[in-house]
Amino acid sequence: MPTIYETVLSTLLWAAISCAVVAIPGVALAYVLARRSFLGKNVLSTLTTLPLVLPPTAVGYLLLRLLANDGWLGESILGIDLGILLTWKAVIIACSVMSFPLFVRTARVAIEEVEPRLESMSRSLGQGPGRTFCRVTLPLAARGLIAAALLAFTRSLGEFGATIIIAGNIPGQTQTLASALFSAQQAGNEGAANQLLWVALLVGFATVYATERLTRKGGEG
Amino acid sequence: MTPQRELWQIHLKIPLDRFELSVEYTGSERALGVFGVSGSGKTTLLESIAGLRTGASGNLSFSGRNWLYAEQGVCLPTEHRRVGYVPQDYLLFPHLNVRGNLEFGKERAQQEGVAFDKIFQQVVETFELQELLERSTRRLSGGERQRVALGRALCSGAQVLLLDEPLASLDAGLKRRILPYLIRARDTFGLPMIVVSHDPVELQALCGEVLAMDAGQVIARGQPQDVFMRSDVFDTAKEQGFENVFTGKVTVLRERTMDLKLVGLEETIRVPASDAAIGDERIASLASDDILIATERPRGLSARNCLATRIERIEATGLRYLALTSVGETTFLVELTKDAIDELGLKAGLDVYLVFKTNAVSV
């Protein structure tokens, strides 16, 4: 059996990887939604938000259908077994999908708050769209983007419903802080459940506090 | 084909909410002014020239290079136009300090073969930015922001300056202090510029030619004084107070006043003292309705300035009349009523005296 320490460590690691996975597509999609007008933008925005409002188990089930042998990403269609289900990779997929909408929504607001005329000014000073994004948009939205990453990280730490469906709850392999707590509670192991609860509270508080500080620009101290 | 080698060929039509902006200008004026009241379309014109606004039709070329040729779908992106755009609110990058702002266009400058270090140093010296270089742009005053924005444009390897209401957001005192920086920008760096403003004083001090705009149309074009004398422009300019603008060298300094010597004039003009040393050049302005005309040299008047001159011509502008007189090499416009002209028998060729108070002159 893994120690609580190991479970917490792997949960933190998986949450961090999920965060890294959603960051680049998340910023790109947030930028497109914040700055571009195109047909179907509202539909895209709604689809992006959907995992936030669906029951996590529904999202998990949908992912299971996709990754199952006969699913779109299954062996019978792709011709190879990606070997995702019931592994740590499934944990990361579940966490990424569930945290993606939170990341995109926060990042979109951060980008929308950047004065578009500053981007125009950068263009007039000879910077193309890509360099303007890197030199103006990104640094000016940095606080909001870090907040988005922290929120996505927190969401991944607490992910349970979708994860348990596609990754299961295998101690030492796919068990996360949330599923370990569930198991401990089910087994009547109050001591372990309490320890896990304290860790969850501590990590959750620290992340949300940091996010608050960042989004409020440190104004209220 | 239109003839090439003119600096500017502007044939633009831009549909706006209330009217269609339509501007035709072909010419080589290096300091071109665009005058108009707020809402006349002048900022839209400047943004279109900078390439920051879409929807323009027609064509636009600078120095023989097409920036816009709508018919053939040519529209050079703003980053390739090499403009130094200075908007009314300066738009300094808040995440960079003054140095970071000045160096923002370094890459383009270097790509265009501009010796960046040299121009950077020149900008820092001309606009007196040495002390500000490491300061956050959030901690700059209005005048300092203006100087940094101008410097940033010049350091970016721009081939033309586009200035949108460069002094509008500054108070009157600061305007007088910043105007010389604009003149230095024009004279030291030798770049062509387009200056958009609702202030005739700025345009007279900076520009060799002015387009006056109203409701999206150019209603007058010519030398600043000629344009502002026109009845349709004068009435608009009058809201700002029509001002004679002139430059003089400080010859005498007193506690509260000083003397300015105008080019080509023996006499000096007494003006309120400003922060100046003997030999400094100062820009001064004098409202056209602050000047009296006397047919004989007046005696016992408190006004300290009395300049002998001759009326060159008298123009009617709406209900008012303007007399043009030359003092040295400077032309002064004097606003008159029909009664004054009739009763004093004022006419072109008549020798007269211009009388005005020291405090009527702003330095």
B268 — pLDDT class (breaks 50, 70, 90): confident
- Residue B16, both tokens: 């706006």
Residue B101 is predicted with a pLDDT of: 97
User: Which domain covers residue A63, as residue numbers?
Assistant: 4-215
* Chain A contact for B83 (CB, 8 A cutoff): yes
Sequence letter at residue B232: D
Cross-strand pairs, B58: B12
In chain A, the number of structural domains is 1
A37 — pLDDT class (breaks 50, 70, 90): very high
Q: In this structure, what CATH number is given to the domain that contains residue A177?
A: 1.10.3720.10
Distance CA B44, CA B360 (A): 35
Proportion of chain B above pLDDT 70, given as a percent? 95
* Chain B contact for A139 (CB, 8 A cutoff): yes
Count interface pairs A-B at CB distance under 8 A: 57
**Interface test with chain A among B47, B91, B101, by most A beta carbons within 10 Å:** B91
- Residue A88, both tokens: 């740590």
Q: Is the dihedral of CA B130, B135, B137, B142 positive or negative?
A: negative
3-state helix/strand/coil string of B11-57: EEEEECCCCEEEEEEEECCCEEEEECCCCCCHHHHHHHHHCCCCCCE
- List, as own/partner pairs, every contact residues A209-218 make where C-beta atoms lie below 8 angstroms and the sequence separation is at least 24, other chains included: A210/A150, A211/A147, A211/A150, A211/A151, A211/A154, A214/A143, A214/A144, A214/A146, A214/A147, A214/A150, A215/A143, A215/A144, A215/A147, A217/A143
Domain-located, residue A76: yes
Domain-located, residue A220: no
B316 — pLDDT class (breaks 50, 70, 90): confident
Exposure of A3 in the CB half-sphere (CA atoms within 13 A): 3
Domain-located, residue A221: no
Q: Which residues of B touch A117 (CB under 8 A)?
A: 87, 91
Cβ of B51 within 8 Å of Cβ of A121? The answer is no
Q: Is the dihedral of CA B84, B88, B91, B92 positive or negative?
A: positive
Taking chain B, what is the end-to-end CA distance rounded to the nearest angstrom? 47
Q: Is the pLDDT of residue A153 over 80?
A: yes
- Burial label, A155 (beta-carbon count in 10 A; 0-12, 13-18, 19+): buried
Residue A1 is predicted with a pLDDT of: 64
Q: Which residues contact residue A61 at a Cβ distance below 8 angstroms, ignoring those fewer than 6 apart?
A: A165
Residue identified by tokens 């001759």 is B310
- Residue A30, both tokens: 């947030």
Distance CA A80, CA B6 (A): 67
Distance CA B266, CA B251 (A): 12
> Span B62-70, mean pLDDT?
92
Residue from A166, A210, A165, A159 nearest A181 by CA: A159
Using CA coordinates, name the residue in chain B closest to A118: B91
Distance CA A153, CA A31 (A): 20
Domain-located, residue A196: yes
- What are the distances in angstroms from CA B15 to CA B43, B216, B355? 14, 9, 48
Q: Is the pLDDT of residue B68 over 80?
A: yes
pTM, rounded to two decimals: 0.81
A57 — pLDDT class (breaks 50, 70, 90): very high
Helix (H) or strand (E) holding B95: none
- Residue A29, both tokens: 């999609």
- Burial label, B300 (beta-carbon count in 10 A; 0-12, 13-18, 19+): exposed
Q: Is the pLDDT of residue B235 over 70?
A: no
Distance CA B116, CA B111 (A): 10
Domain-located, residue A88: yes
Cβ of B104 within 8 Å of Cβ of A135? The answer is yes
* Chain A contact for B151 (CB, 8 A cutoff): no
Distance CA B227, CA B148 (A): 31
Taking 3-state DSSP, the helix, strand and coil percentages for chain A, each rounded to the nearest 5, stand at: 75, 0, 25
Distance CA B328, CA B263 (A): 6
Task: Give φ, ψ of B209 to 5 degrees.
Answer: -145, 145
* Chain A contact for B52 (CB, 8 A cutoff): yes
Domain-located, residue A90: yes
CA distance A100 to chain B (A): 28
> Span B332-337, mean pLDDT?
86
Exposure of B118 in the CB half-sphere (CA atoms within 13 A): 7
Helix (H) or strand (E) holding B164: strand B160-164
Ordered domains of chain B (ranges, CATH) = 8-242 (3.40.50.300), 244-362 (2.40.50.100)
Domain-located, residue A67: yes
Q: Give helix then strand counts, H and E, for chain A.
A: 11, 0
Residue B249 has a CB neighbour count (10 Å cut-off) of 16
* Chain A contact for B81 (CB, 8 A cutoff): yes
Which A positions 91-130 lie with beta carbon below 8 A of chain B?
Answer: 115, 117-118, 120-128
Cβ of A120 within 8 Å of Cβ of B82? The answer is no
User: In terms of residues, how long is chain B?
Assistant: 363
Residue identified by tokens 């002159």 is B361
Residue identified by tokens 């056209």 is B288
> Span B179-195, mean pLDDT?
86
Domain-located, residue A53: yes
Please tell me which of the candidates A118, A126, A139 has its beta carbon nearest to residue B79. Answer: A126
* Chain A contact for B157 (CB, 8 A cutoff): yes
The pLDDT tens digits for A82-118 are 889 999 999 999 999 999 999 999 999 999 999 999 9
CA distance B78 to chain A (A): 5
Residue B97 is predicted with a pLDDT of: 97
Cβ of B87 within 8 Å of Cβ of A117? The answer is yes
